[in-house]
Amino acid sequence: MSQSSSQPNRLAQGGQVDRSRELTFTFNGKRYVGHPGDTLASALLANGVDIVNRSFKYSRPRGIVAAGAEEPNAVVQLGASEAAQVPNVRATQQALYQGLEARSTNGWPNVQRDLMASVGKLGGSFMPPGFYYKTFMAPASMWMTYEKYIRKSAGLGRSPAESDPDIYDHLNQHCDVLVIGAGPAGLTAALTAARSGARVILCDEQERLGGSLLDSRELLDDAPASQWAQAVIDELAAMEDVTLLPRTTANGYHDHNFVTLHERRTEHLADVAPRVDGRRQSRSRLHRVRAAQVVLATGAHERPLVYANNDVPGNLLAGAVSTYVRRYGVAPGQKLVLTTSNDHGYRAALDWQEAGREVVAIVDARDNPDGELVEQARAAGIRLITGSAVIEAKGDKRVSGARVARIDIDGFQVVGKVEELACDTIASSGGYSPVIHLSSHTGTRPVWREDILGFVPGKVKGLTPAGGAQGIYALDEVLEDGVAAGNRAAEAAGFTAARLELPRAVARRESPAVALYQVPHEKPTLRAPKQFVDLQNDVTAAGIEVATREGFESIEHVKRYTAMGFGTDQGKLGNINGMAIAARCLGQTIPETGTTVFRPNYTPVTFGAIVGRHCRELFDPERYTALHQWHVEHGAEFEDVGQWKRPWYFPRTVNGKKESMHDAVARECLAVRQGVGILDASTLGKIDIQGPDAREFLGRVYTNKWAKLAPGRVRYGLMCKDDGMLMDDGTTSCLGDNHFLMTTTTGGAAGVLEWLELWHQTEWPELQVYFDSVTDHWATMTVTGPEARKLMAEVTDIDLDKEAFKFMDWREGTVAGVPARVFRISFTGELAYEINVQANYAMHVWKTLFAHGEKYDLTPYGTETMHVLRAEKGLIIVGQDTDGSVTPEDLNMYWAIGYDKPFPWIGKRALSRPDTRRIDRKQLVGLRPHDPKVVLEEGAQIVFDPEQAIPMTMVGHVTSSYYSPVLDSGFALAVVKGGHHRMGETVYLPMADGKVHAAEIVSTVFVDPKGERQNV
């Protein structure tokens, strides 16, 4: 057949691939053919591609070892275009599609000929564990240079250099029972739980549900196991409250049964998600699952045996050989030697032989194996060599032979003569390691079970392990265990156990496995050819031995010294062997040695799936005021204030030239000082406070007095924490005797409301008062400047007479026909009216003000002008002029401190601590640069003595600094040690460029020190 000639290792029949259709793909630029149903790995093996990568440290050629998530070598870079590049994809988990393009991630300049290989071949003594640490440590400054080359030669894949064309999303899921793994245990657990009525999610990382049943030799009800699996899947699919998720890896198991599932929705179709009905669909989806109960049916990973040169291409896991033969119709070689420590491995030899290929020998470490599978192999005429193991693979780029010898496991030595068998494939089985990664994510330590020679999951609340994940491997027992787990989980979630008729499975007699973690060699470990423990991180048995000799006794230290179980591999194949070797070297048992901690993610997750739709314009909420559209239309530049978009300044375009920020701000400032300006202040936090104890409450949370504030009046208040440090400020208006409207800073709104609730709910629940946010209900516009009254008079029915409506009064009426509360408070120092109207009507009011304001040249201004104007008046911004270490006294705001209020208000006690009484505290002052052209840098450090040698004594810093168009000079606010008593003194600000600015300490009020302008 033409296919088999182009795919030398494709069997003529068998497997679940669709031989009637061909898919073409490229690997490292070379074109190959595979079939629907293939993974990239099975297609590469079918095409006889032996070398898929170069190893991380020694740059040795590496081939495919496994058939699933545990694959350590075949980690590839995917993507036909630059934008579609995906690193770190396991070829064993990547379904083949037409036009797939993949490359090796390691190997420079290419995997066949590798520059680093010569280094790797020189042997262990040149690159011991810690090689990079030891060799490239000095000089420290060179590490960056070394690292660049190490990384290039190590090749960890690369991220795309262009924007990702795909979209990704998250789905929040909830269920009674989440079943992870859809093999025999998972399927029965899911069906049992679903029949009990529970909401069930069943996920599996493979392309199809079914797990080991997809390629099992076992019969269920006298039919292939995959048929029974399909019947179960069909029943589950028809149930309303069951969600089936193939191609979905449970990657992280977090607190309280929160599990993240990574579903690859279109990765099997193309490298860019195809559109459906012209609509985009997400390429990957992260399911954020909150499960009442979790059934861990993740099965087990086969452990490879650790023998010399066990990394040469052609060395595979026994189970992987079976999977490639039975599921994909691929025999990755011609002549097989199987080396095993248990019965299960025998299946690989039986499958190989049934595929029409030659089994050279089965090498069994046990002396007298007699299980059913062993008998089958004997009956099939396969040569059986017992009490022995493959101690070394021969070959360079592909296995060419196996050196076999009798071994003494307990004595850890080779006994007897070595026989060399010619072969091109060595399958090894050292038993199974339950896949306990997920349960370990919770922090639970796994438990060693000597009877199964493996770790099983430790106890996790709401978690039930099932089947292979807890060391049960016989199919009939696994099915039963799945039912039990499904029922346990359903019952724990409040449902009544359901019945499930199990199919007939043949119970097989097994001979016990033997513990074999490292196969002895004729030479001692340190001198034998490399015996790899962790293929992905190039950790050898000798490396672990060296680590223990160098004093690394904790397994976590051994891990870090050798890199065993690092990175995306997370020790899937190597960890148990590595720990066992460390234990032997240390003269300990395995449980004494313990395991390292497995961490999320189980396999790599693309950043896109983690980010989901929280990107681009949806990265973070943008909060808009009711007037936003106007600001946009009038060319505002915006500033982010928290999540708010606030107009920063409104540059005008004159003669086609856009005003600079400096010019715009100067113009806006002068408009307010000389005419009238308007600010959108809607972002200020606003809290409605009602209740008979509202006034008392204000007195406790503000530093100043509230007892006598009459309805119609407004007061500025300072809010401290109990450590005496300022946390927020704002005005509060008395609307009625039991009714107040508090304003907070824009950024402080949510925090202040929570702060009020904290004190009310935890300390003073007896006070009758309610707090409610009305920030969004009101739009706030500040009309300010000498012409403000004239403008307001045109649009309001409120009596604006300066006696009837004084500074720090508020009145209600209509503005532009809309009911409004108007407050005479000023953050500019000018006559100001702050108008509150219901936000739905704000645009009408704003536009009406402009319609009338034209003759006064009403000027919109933004936050920058607001900052300049308030700073000219010495008005602070909490969080800019304060930083959580500033008391009201430091701000010289004694007038706002009610020392004699009856209740010990929040922050009062702290003001009498010795530290807050120090006279050399940093205190807020004004700074006037000697050179008026200088605008000091905000954050610049201040010294008294510019001649002092470095390090100089720093005595404060600039908190706010601007150019004032009114003063035609730079000016600043700053905190300076003992500043209040240093008026008129000169301080210095040494800058990074060597300049030293001199400035005079002055009052914080630069404009209108008597406050006459706002009080007209």
Q: How far apart are CA 161 and CA 82, in angstroms?
A: 7
> Is the Cβ–Cβ distance between 310 and 518 less than 8 Å?
no
DSSP state of 29: T
Q: How far apart are CA 521 and CA 517, in angstroms?
A: 13
Smallest distance from another protein to CB 718, Å: 18
Q: How far is the CB of 819 from another protein (least distance, A)?
A: 5
Extract the tokens encoding 139: 């000089």
Residues 230 and 244 sit within 8 Å (Cβ to Cβ)? no
Residue numbers 441-470 binding another protein by CB under 8 A: 443, 461
Provide the 8-state DSSP code for 614: -
Residue 209 CB, nearest approach to another protein (Å): 22
* Per CB under 8 A, 599 contacts another protein: no
Q: Which is nearer to another protein, 133 or 903 (CB)?
A: 903
Sequence-ordered list of residues with C-beta below 8 angstroms from that of 125, at least 6 positions apart, any chain = none
704-733 binders of another protein (CB under 8 A)? 711, 722-723
Interface pattern 261-300 for another protein (x via CB under 8 A): ---------------xx-xxxx-----x-x----------
Q: Does 811 bind another protein (CB under 8 A)?
A: no
CA distances from 676 to 622, 748, 860 (A): 29, 28, 9
Q: Is the peptide bond before 951 cis (omega within 30 degrees of 0)?
A: yes
Closest to another protein by CB, 572 or 760: 760
Q: Which residue lies nearer to another protein by CB, 660 or 912?
A: 912
Helix pair 475-492, 184-195: axis angle to 10 deg: 40
Q: Please select the residue that binds another protein; options are 908, 957, 977, 997, rule is CB under 8 A.
A: 908
By CB under 8 A, is residue 566 in contact with another protein? no
Asked if 739 touches another protein (CB under 8 A), the answer is yes
Q: What is the DSSP letter of 391?
A: E
Distance CA 767, CA 699 (A): 12
Measured from the CB atom, is 443 or 512 closer to another protein? 443
Give the residue carrying structure tokens 């052209």.
933
Contact with another protein (CB under 8 A) among 620, 797, 801, 931: 620
Q: How far is the CB of 866 from another protein (least distance, A)?
A: 19
Binding residues for another protein restricted to 954-983, rule: CB under 8 A: none
**Of 57, 488, 623, 922, which one interacts with another protein (CB under 8 A)?**
623
What's the CA gap between 959 and 982, in Å, rounded?
A: 18
**Shortest reach from residue 264's CB to another protein, in Å:** 16
The token pair that represents 145 in the structure block: 């240079």
CB of 550 to another protein, least distance (A): 31
- Residue owning tokens 């994809």: 89
Footprint (CB under 8 A) of another protein, residues 188-207? 199
- Of the two residues 605 and 664, which places its CB atom closer to another protein in the complex? 605
Residue 692 makes contact with another protein by CB under 8 A = yes
- For the bound state, the minimum distance from the C-beta of residue 821 to another protein, rounded and expressed in Å, comes to 7
Choice between 167 and 952, CB closer to another protein: 167
**Residue 917 makes contact with another protein by CB under 8 A:** no
Cβ contact 337:314 at 8 Å: no
Site for another protein in 749-788 (CB under 8 A): 754, 757-758, 761-763, 765, 768, 770, 772-779
Please check whether residue 1005 is in contact with residue 970, taking contact to mean a CB–CB distance below 8 angstroms.
Answer: no
Q: Residue from 143, 412, 807, 841 that binds another protein (CB under 8 A)?
A: 841
- CB nearer to another protein: give 170 or 652: 170
Choose the binding region for another protein from 97-105, 597-605, 686-694, 927-935 (rule: CB under 8 A): 686-694
CB nearer to another protein: pick between 616 and 1010: 616
Q: Which of residues 357-416 bind another protein (CB under 8 A)?
A: none
* Residue 943 CB partners (closer than 8 Å, separation 6+): 952, 953, 954, 955, 987, 988, 989, 990
Nearest distance from residue 772's CB to another protein, in Å?
4
DSSP-derived secondary structure for 95-163:
B--TTEEEEESS-SB-SSSBTTHHHHHT-TTTS-TTHHHHHS-SSGGGHHHHHHHHHHHH------SS-
The one among 902, 914, 939, 984 contacting another protein by CB under 8 A: 914
How many angstroms separate the Cα of 537 from the Cα of each of 59, 129, 244, 310, 336?
Answer: 11, 11, 35, 14, 27
Min dist CB 811 to another protein, Å, is 12
Residue 918 touching another protein (CB under 8 A): no
- DSSP assigned state of 911: G
Please give the Cα distance from 172 to 632 (Å, whole number): 35
Give the number of residues in contact with another protein, rule: CB under 8 A.
89
Distance CA 593, CA 579 (A): 7
CB of 816 to another protein, least distance (A): 8
- Interface map 234-263 toward another protein (x if CB under 8 A): -------x------------xxxxx-----
- Contact by Cβ (8 Å): 778, 625: no
Residue 601, preceding peptide bond in cis (omega within 30° of 0):
yes
Strand partners, 729: 718
* Residues from 654 through 683 that contact another protein (CB under 8 A): 683
> From the CB of 628, what's the least distance to another protein, in Å?
6
Tell which one of 36, 691, 786, 932 touches another protein (CB under 8 A): 691
Contact stretch for another protein (CB under 8 A) within 134-142, 541-549, 662-670, 734-742: 734-742
Q: Is the dihedral of CA 70, 75, 77, 79 positive or negative?
A: negative
Are 824 and 833 a contacting pair, CB within 8 Å?
yes
Check if the beta carbon of residue 962 is closer than 8 Å to that of residue 937: no
Q: Which residues share a beta bridge with 24? A: 33
Return d(Cα 433, Cα 576) in angstroms, integer.
Answer: 7
Q: Report, in Å, the least distance between residue 614 CB and another protein.
A: 7
Among 16, 400, 511, 838, binds another protein (CB under 8 A): 838
Closest CA to 289 of 259, 266, 309, 267: 259
Minimal distance in Å, beta carbon 972 to another protein?
32
Q: Which of 489, 735, 868, 958 binds another protein (CB under 8 A)?
A: 735
Contact 1005, 965 (CB under 8 A): no
Of 549, 909, 918, 981, which one interacts with another protein (CB under 8 A)?
A: 909
- DSSP, collapsed to helix, strand or coil, labels residue 21 as coil
With respect to another protein, which residue has the nearer C-beta, 200 or 404? 200
| Minimum separation from the CB atom of position 266 to another protein (A) | 12
Closest CB to another protein among 241 and 920?
241
Residues 6+ apart with CB under 8 A from 288: 170, 171, 172, 173, 258, 260
Q: Which of residues 152-171 bind another protein (CB under 8 A)?
A: 169-171
Residue 69 in contact with residue 205, Cβ under 8 Å? yes
Nearer to another protein by C-beta: 556 or 620? 620
Integer Cα distance of 91 and 6 in angstroms: 20
Among 56, 561, 644, 963, binds another protein (CB under 8 A): 644
Binder of another protein out of 737, 799, 801, 968 (CB under 8 A): 737
- Exactly one of 24, 135, 589, 629 binds another protein (CB under 8 A); that residue is 629
CB of 613 to another protein, least distance (A): 6
What is the x/- site pattern for another protein, positions 814-833, by CB under 8 A?
A: x-xxxx-x------------
CA gap 544, 581 in Å, rounded:
7
**Structure-token pair, residue 351:** 């499958």
Quote the tokens at residue 173. 């899921």
